[in-house]
Amino acid sequence: MLDAGYRWAAMTLPDLPGFRDSRGKVCVDVVSAASEYWNPPDDAASHWLRNEVLPSVRAFLAAHLGHRIDFGDFDHLLICADAFDWLQIGYGPEPTPRYFAEILDLRSWDQVTDWLRTLDERQYRYPSWLHDAKKIADARTRFEALVAKRTSHPDELSRNVTDGL
């Protein structure tokens, strides 16, 4: 999962003919050919798109070409049963249990809560799930399962078959 440009992506991609396939998943070829999306205005307000977001999106699409790709905001993913199996990469990630276990290599929930207390919102999004006690409990359960799996199978990383754009 990665940031595809927030409002920029929402304004330039969803109405493209063929953007979604018959299953509702993103057609990578259509996104790759979307010249308006790849060429935001050449001004200071688009600097983050040109230098941070779009290079991450291009790399993500190349790496996940054969996968089913979804499009939407993170909140719509949180209603899925496997919401905490997602791993956001690229510009300004929203930390999830996989991010804590796989990227930050945290080993306990206490380490997670300590990290969250010092969260730098210039580098990360504040997790939208932190306002909900049930989601926090679900996140902790998933995190602890990932840590246990990594401890018993250190070479095996959890992989989700669906990637998000």
100 shares its domain with 158: yes
154 shares its domain with 108: yes
Extract the tokens encoding 90: 């690229």
Per-residue pLDDT of the chain (165 residues; tens, 9 = 90+): 667 777 888 889 989 999 988 888 888 899 999 999 999 999 998 988 898 889 988 988 888 887 778 777 666 665 666 778 777 767 777 788 999 999 999 999 999 999 998 887 767 777 878 888 998 999 999 999 999 998 876 555 444 434 455
- Pick the last residue of a domain from 20, 35, 70: 70
Question: H or E segment at 68?
Answer: strand 68-70
pLDDT score recorded for residue 161: 38
Residue type, 121: E
86 shares its domain with 51: no
Residue type, 97: P
Question: H or E segment at 56?
Answer: helix 54-63
pLDDT score recorded for residue 112: 95
Inside any domain, residue 32:
yes
Inside any domain, residue 2:
no
* Cα 5 to Cα 50: distance, rounded to the nearest angstrom: 10
Query: Could you please report the per-residue DSSP string of 76-111?
Result: HHTTSTTGGG---BSSS----HHIIIIIS---SHHH
How many residues are listed for the chain in this entry? Answer: 165
> Please, which residues bridge with residue 68 across strands?
162
First to last CA, the chain: 5
The domain in which residue 130 lies consists of: 74-164
DSSP state of 24: S
Extract the tokens encoding 93: 């990630």
Inside any domain, residue 1:
no
81 shares its domain with 64: no
56 shares its domain with 89: no
Burial zone of 84 (CB within 10 Å; 0-12 exposed, 13-18 middle, 19+ buried): buried
**What domain count does the chain have?**
2
84 shares its domain with 160: yes
65 shares its domain with 80: no
Inside any domain, residue 85:
yes
52 shares its domain with 81: no
62 shares its domain with 101: no
* Cα 27 to Cα 18: distance, rounded to the nearest angstrom: 7
101 shares its domain with 131: yes
25 shares its domain with 46: yes
50 shares its domain with 88: no
